[in-house]
Amino acid sequence: MSEITQWSLHRLREALRKKEVSAVEVARAHVDAVGKAGALNAVTTPTPERAIEMAEQSDKRLAGGEGGALEGIPLGVKDMFCTEGVASTACSNILEGFTPPYESDVTERLWQAGACLLGKLNCDEFAMGSSTETGSSGAVCNPWRGNGDARLTAGGSSGGSAAAVAARLMPVSLGTDTGGSVRQPAAFTGTVGLKPSYGRCSRYGIISYASSLDQAGILARSVTDSAILLGTIAGHDSRDSTSADIEVPDYESELKGGISKMRVGIPKEYSVDGMPGEIDDLWKQAAGWLEEQGAEIIEVSLPHTRHALPAYYIIAPAEASSNLARYDGIQYGKRAKANGVDELYGRTRAEGFGVEVKRRILMGSYVLSAGYYDAYYLKAQRVRALVARDFDNVFEKVDVLLAPTTPSAAFALGEKTDDVLALYLGDIFTVPVNLAGLPAISVPAKLNGEGLPLGMQLIGRRFDEATLLRAAKAVEDSAGFDAVPQAWWSP
Ligand code: GLN
């Protein structure tokens, strides 16, 4: 394995600026790593030529002393982002052959900053899932195996983005987080997963799942690297009416502040029956780390937490069923053979969507239908308001919250395929944040008894990513997590 692929974004940036390596050398090392990692199935559409071409441009700019914030940094993006001229399918057969004529706002910002595209990354179909098994490209395999031999899930839906960063195929990547899809895969792969506040990054050009919950997110190997990337992708965009027109701080320098006197809330509801004792112990240990660094630990209550998951699994499918109505075989992607327009719609959708997406469309259409709208959809929206109000109340007393990211470590591929409720339950600690539009981050904190990574989650006030990242850095510093998976996939 090339040494260059072990370097963090921060380290690469220094080496490129000092001309210790060229952008083309950096791109080649990563293209090579991607090429050898087929067993992980993390990259669905590799773009090696584009990566090298972009790196050549970066080298020219670096030679001229120009260079953007990410000049020469190779990275991959989840297949939920529209990338001009590169297939963008949300890992769905219904978008087979769709190559967008435009670029998403956040990826456009990456290329403007000098980053180079290594490829599109595998995910659950339309980002619906928690295990990256439902997409048209098949399952992603977690680089971590722990003490056993079983092939494990890298989490989902941004499993490809997380596996690629954990396996050192790229220093950072983009995912999307609608209900935990960046934080949960981060926890399962020993990487840092950041979901910014709703409105912090533009959703323009991100294939929609549930529009009131979707956010672009970052997978990285350190909090500093996520801060650097957030500074690039955040910002107002008039093409997304929910994008916030507020200042973007310099997150990297804000990290230096430390956490002295920071008030950290421990929400007592973030503990569930059946959660392994080692996750509870880690949570206490992490609170201790923050206290040692000068924070004040305060127990708080978010009483509506247990209603968040059912509300999410009504609201997200409702919005999804409406968003997915546009895939009719006429405008984009796949078109089934049929006689007449009704048959064309029906067949295209029957052949194009996978089983999980169909399940969400059925649930969503049901809860939005005339007789059930008040009983389900409207009630779920009321619950959502209560969940958000709980957070508002505690953020009067504390600056950030500390909780586990997931109630378990990575599980085996196929283990929950027949039990979707068990899969949905795994999202219990991540969905409340999306319902309330808050920023949150998962930081790798230790390996469990089976040698698998566990993540701790920090949750911040809306648009206060700077404080959130500072707290995350403190957890990272104390945890000192430096374990790396064995490169079993590389021939
Ligand atoms: N697992 C959740 C779902 O399937 C979250 C997915 C996501 O954040 N995209 O809805």
Mean pLDDT of 287-298: 98
Distance 225 CA to ligand 1 centre (A): 24
**For the chain, what is the mean pLDDT?**
97
Residue 1, pLDDT score: 55
What sign for the dihedral angle of Cα 430, 223, 3, 79?
positive
Mean pLDDT of 377-395: 98
Annotated catalytic residue, options 130, 158, 161, 181 = 181
Distance in angstroms (rounded) separating the CA atoms of residues 241 and 203: 9
Q: What are the tokens at 31?
A: 């293209």
Any ligand 1 atom below 6 A from CB of 406: no
Residue 2, pLDDT score: 75
Q: Residue 197, preceding bond cis, omega within 30 degrees?
A: no
Distance 61 CA to ligand 1 centre (A): 39
What would the pLDDT profile of 167-218 be if each residue is shown by its tens digit?
999 999 999 999 999 999 999 999 999 999 999 999 999 999 999 999 999 9
- Given the structure tokens 């201790």, which residue do they identify? 288
Any ligand 1 atom below 6 A from CB of 100: no
Look at residue 144 and tell me whether its pLDDT is greater than 70: yes
* Closest listed residue to residue 475, CA positions, set 288, 297, 337: 288
For residue 96, the number of C-alpha atoms closer than 13 Å in the C-beta half-sphere is 15
Tell me how far CA of residue 251 lies from CA of 219, 256, 467, 469, in angstroms: 16, 9, 9, 8
Candidates 161, 183, 209, 218: which one to mutate for ligand 1, based on the most atoms within 8 Å of Cβ?
A: 209
Distance in angstroms (rounded) separating the CA atoms of residues 136 and 120: 13
Annotated catalytic residue, options 78, 120, 416, 446 = 78
Any ligand 1 atom below 6 A from CB of 126: no
Residue 490, pLDDT score: 87
Any ligand 1 atom below 6 A from CB of 42: no
Secondary structure class of 164 (helix, strand, coil): helix
Mean pLDDT of 435-449: 98
DSSP codes joined into one string, 180-238: STTHHHHHHHT-EEEEPPTTTS--TTBPPS-TTT--EEEEESSHHHHHHHHHHH-S--T
Residue 449, pLDDT score: 97
Distance 157 CA to ligand 1 centre (A): 6
Q: What are the tokens at 267?
A: 């929400």
- Long-range CB contacts (< 8 A, 24+ apart) of 57-63? 58/16, 58/23, 58/114, 58/116, 59/22, 59/23, 59/24, 61/114, 62/16, 62/17, 62/19, 62/22, 62/23
* Closest listed residue to residue 67, CA positions, set 105, 19, 33: 19
- Given the structure tokens 């929910």, which residue do they identify? 242
Any ligand 1 atom below 6 A from CB of 157: yes
Mean pLDDT of 129-152: 96
Angle at 485 between CA 483 and CA 486, to 5 degrees: 125
Q: Which helix (H) or strand (E) holds 466?
A: helix 465-479
* Closest listed residue to residue 114, CA positions, set 234, 17, 11, 243: 17
The superfamily CATH assigns to domain 3-263+397-479 is: Amidase signature (AS) domain (3.90.1300.10)
- pLDDT bracket for residue 342 (50, 70, 90): very high
What would the pLDDT profile of 207-260 be if each residue is shown by its tens digit?
999 999 999 999 999 999 999 999 999 999 999 999 999 999 999 999 998 999
296 - beta bridge partners? 263
* Closest listed residue to residue 194, CA positions, set 392, 484, 472, 451: 472
Any ligand 1 atom below 6 A from CB of 427: yes
Any ligand 1 atom below 6 A from CB of 316: yes
pTM of the model: 0.98
Is 222 one of the catalytic residues? no
What would the pLDDT profile of 115-139 be if each residue is shown by its tens digit?
999 999 999 999 999 999 999 999 9
**Of 27-36, 302-311, 347-356, 415-424, where does mean pLDDT reach its minimum?**
415-424
DSSP codes joined into one string, 235-280: S--TTSTTS-------HHHHGGG--TT-EEEEETTS--TT--HHHH
Helices (H), 152-204: 159-166, 183-189
Tell me how far CA of residue 35 lies from CA of 4, 28, 38, 154, 473, in angstroms: 15, 10, 7, 19, 32
Centroid of chain to Cα 295: 28
First-residue to last-residue Cα distance in the chain: 10
Is 369 one of the catalytic residues? no
- pLDDT bracket for residue 400 (50, 70, 90): very high
Domain ranges of the chain: 3-263+397-479
Look at residue 305 and tell me whether its pLDDT is greater than 90: yes
Q: What are the tokens at 230?
A: 């957030």
Look at residue 491 and tell me whether its pLDDT is greater than 60: yes
Is 181 one of the catalytic residues? yes
Q: Tell the burial category of 304 from Cβ atoms under 10 Å away from its Cβ (0-12, 13-18, 19+).
A: buried
Distance 435 CA to ligand 1 centre (A): 12
Distance in angstroms (rounded) separating the CA atoms of residues 267 and 301: 5
